Structure 1
Amino acid sequence: MPYTTEEGGRLNNFAKEPKIYQAEPPTEGQKRTYIFLGVAATVLVVGLIVVAFFVSQKT
């Protein structure tokens, strides 16, 4: 743990700071993957809603 000594001899214990880096923009391949996953998630949710609707109609 990194300790610092303040005036008067007091010790302070600070948390270790994470290394900071600048994020890189997604590549074209990553963008395509994000679009594909978004479409797949949308189809899944709409499909679940449709199934729930038809199941609830059967009485």
Structure 2
Amino acid sequence: MRYTTEDGGRLNNFAVEPKVYKAEPPSKDQQRNYLFMGIGAIALLSSLIFVAMSASNVG
């Protein structure tokens, strides 16, 4: 661990900084997977809303 000594002899403890890296854009396969997951999420959400409206007799 890193310690620094301040005036008066007090020790100060600092957290270890994580390694910094540059993010890379998603590949074509990842973009396709994100599209399918988005379509699946929209389908799930719309079906849940449909079931909720059917169960509550709204609509």
Q: TM-score, normalised by structure 2?
A: 0.82
How many corresponding residue pairs? 58
Deviations 1:1-58 (A, max 9, x none): 1113456655321110000000010000000000100000000000000011111118
- Counterpart Cα distance in 1 of 2:8 and 2:55: 73
% identical aligned pairs? 57
Q: CA RMSD in A?
A: 1.8
Match of 1:22 in 2: 22
Match of 2:2 in 1: 2
Gaps of 5+ in 2: none
Runs of 4+ displaced beyond 6 Å = none
